[in-house]
Amino acid sequence: MPDQKSSGAEFLQPPFLPPAFASALAPSLAYSKAVMSGMSHDDMDAETGTTELMDRASRAFLARLTGGVSPGALVEAYADWLMHLAVLPGKQASLLQNAVRKASRLCRYAMTCATTGATAGGNPDGCIEPMPQDHRFDHESWQTWPFNLYAQSFLLTQQWWSQAMTGVRGVSPHHERIIDFVTRQLLDLAAPSNFPLTNPEVLRKTLDEGGMNLARGWSHLLEDLERLGSKRMPAGRESFLPGKAVAVTPGKVVYRNRLIELIQYEPTTPNAHPEPVLIVPAWIMKYYILDLSPENSLVRYLVGQGFTVFMISWRNPGADDRDLGMDDYRKLGIEAALAAAKEITGSPKVHAAGYCLGGTLLSITAAGLFHRGDESIASLSLFAAQTDFTEAGELTLFIDESEVSFLEDLMWEQGYLDTAQMSGAFQLLRSKDLIWSRIVREYMLGERAPMFDLMAWNADGTRMPYRMHSEYLRQLFLRNDFAEGRYRVDGAVVSIEDITAPVFAVGTEQDHVAPWRSVFKIRHLADSPVTFILTTGGHNAGIVSEPGHKNRHYRILTSPAHNGHLDPEGWIAAAALRDGSWWEAWSAWLAERSGVPGALPPMGKPEAGLEPLCPAPGTYVLMP
C-alpha cells in the first residue's frame, strides 16, 4: 500500500509493469508523474485521475507504434463490413461470379499472349486498363510477356477487392471509405512494380548498367536513412533555403510576438493602393509557398501590381506551446497582424487573403469581426480553404471520434503533432506517386529526382500544438461547428453569414487536401457576393500558378449576394473558361475594390512600436 499522503504516482512506476512495456512507456510515465506531482489528491481525481493518465500514456505509446492511426477505428470499420457481408448471400454470390469471370478473362489473355507471340513483342489487348491517375505501368516494357500478365493480374485483383469493399448494404459510408482506402494501400504494397524481379524497367536497367543502378539506390537509401535519423533536411533541399533561393522578395519584419512575425514587403512601384493586402498562410507548413523563387512568387507579383503586401510567418511551436489554442492563433496571429497593417498604412480597411488552414481561420476571424461591427476587412480571399467540412475529401478518413481521441493522446504526451506524423497521412493519400514510385525511381532505378522549390518547401513542415490541433479537429472536421453556426468567437456564436465583405475563393481541380467541391460551398454559405475560380493543378501547384506557366487555365464566375442555388456541375457549365493564370484575375478583382493608388506607406512605424526588426524572411521561418 502506498503512503496515503503520496500523490498516487507510485502506481505508475515501471516496476509495477512488465519490464519491456515499462521501458517503452517511460517517456509517457515521466510526463504523467510530472503532471501529478503538482496536484493534490482532490485535484488529481477531479481533473484526470491516475487511471486516465495511465490510459493516455499507454495509448500515446501505441500511437507512436502505429504512426498515429487508431487500431480501434480500423477494427470497427472492417468488423462493420464483415458482419454485413456475412448476411448478404446475393453479394457473396456476385463476388464469387465476378472472381470466376476475372480469372477466365486472365486465362484467355494469357493464352492470347502465348498464341500471338507476346514473348517476341506482341501486344494483345489487355482485359483491364489502369485508372487515369495510375502511371505505374506506363512504360512500354510492361506490354511484354510475362510482365503484362503480372500487371493485368494485379489490376484485376485490385478491381475485385474494390468491388468487395464497396456496395455492401448496411455498412456506414465512413467505414466503407476507410476499408476501401486501407485495402488499396495494402494492395499497392504488393504491386509488381514495387519489386525488382517483377518490374521490367528495373530489370532492363540492371542488365544495362551491370547492377550499378542498385548500388546507387542503396547509397540513396543509406543517405536518406542517415538524414532521417539525424533530423537533417532531405537531399537537395540545402539549395533552396529561405532567404537564399526562396523567400527572397525584399521586406522587413515589422512586428513579432510569441506566435508570428509580420513581414512588410518593399514596394516596387512609385505608388500603391491605399488598402494593404494581408496574407495568412497555413501554419502546417512554412509561409514561403507564396514567396517561392522570384519567378513564381505571388508576393512579388502583387507588389509589382501596386499593392502593399504583408505576410504572416508562423513560429514553429514546441512542447512549451502545447496550450496554444485556436483563439490564440486568431488573436496573436490574424487580429494582431490586421492591427499592425492598418497602423502602418493608415488604412481603415485591409484586403485579407488566406491559404488552406490559414483561410479557414481567416474566415472565422472575419465572421467574428463583422459580428461585433468591425468592418476592417475590405475583401476576403480564400485559396484552397474550406469553411464547410462535410465533404472534406480523403482526409476525413482519419477523422472520427476514435482517431481524434487517439491523436489527442499522442499530442498530449508530446505537446504537439510532429511534422513526420502529419506528412505520413498526406503521403498516403497519394501513395502511388509519393511513396511507391519514389522508392522504385530512387532506390531501384538509382535516379534521384531533381529537387525544385515547391518540393523543397513541401519538406519544410511545422508542428501543431496539442490544444490548437485538438480544437481544430473536433470543432471543424468532426463537428463542423463553423458552417453549422455553433462556433464561438469571444463568447459569441458566429457563422459565415456574418461576413458582408465580397469573397474571392479559389479551388483546384486535382486537390486531394481541400477538394474543390468542398471549397465551393462558400458560395452557398456566404450572403455576400462570391467570385469563385476553379483552376488547374493540385492543392499546392494550382495555387502557385504564375503568369506564363504553361498549360494553365481557370474558370471564373461571380455570384451576387443572396444568389440562387447552383451546384458544382451547373457552375462549371455557367463559368467562363480562360487561359492563363488566375493571379491576373485576382489582381484585377482587388484593384476594382481598392482606392486610387497614392503615396507609398512607410516600412514599419517605430512611433507605434512597429519598428523594422530584421530583413525578410525573418527568424521564425528558419526555426527547425
**Rounded CA separation 182/555 (Å):** 34
Q: What are the grid coordinates assigned to 225, written together?
A: 536513412
Tally Cβ neighbours within 10 Å of residue 94. Answer: 14
- Residue 395's closest CA among 435, 433, 360, 424? 424
Q: Which helix (H) or strand (E) holds 44?
A: helix 41-47
Residue 319, phi then psi, degrees to nearest 5: -60, -30
**Rounded CA separation 248/93 (Å):** 63
DSSP 549-610: -TT-EEEEEEE-TTPPP--HHHHHHHSEEEES-HHHHHHHHHHHTS---BSPPPS-BGGGTB
356 is catalytic: yes
**Rounded CA separation 268/250 (Å):** 10
SS3 content of the chain, % helix, strand, coil (to 5): 50, 10, 35
Quick check: helix, strand or coil at residue 529?
Answer: coil
Burial class of residue 173 in the structure, from the number of CB atoms within 10 Å of its CB (0-12 exposed, 13-18 middle, 19+ buried): exposed
Give the sheet arrangement for strand 576-579, strand by strand. Answer: 576-579, 553-559, 530-535, 503-508, 377-383, 350-355, 277-280, 309-314, 260-265, 251-256, 614-615
**Rounded CA separation 204/445 (Å):** 10
Peptide bond into 200 cis (omega under 30): no
**Rounded CA separation 8/1 (Å):** 10
Q: Which helix (H) or strand (E) holds 492?
A: strand 492-494
Residues 501, 379 contacting (CB under 8 angstroms): yes
- Return the residue matching grid coordinates 488566406: 354
Residues 273, 242 contacting (CB under 8 angstroms): no
Query: Catalytic: which of 107, 113, 127, 356?
Result: 356
**What does DSSP assign to residue 333?**
I
**Rounded CA separation 535/608 (Å):** 41
Residues 580, 547 contacting (CB under 8 angstroms): yes
Catalytic residues: 356
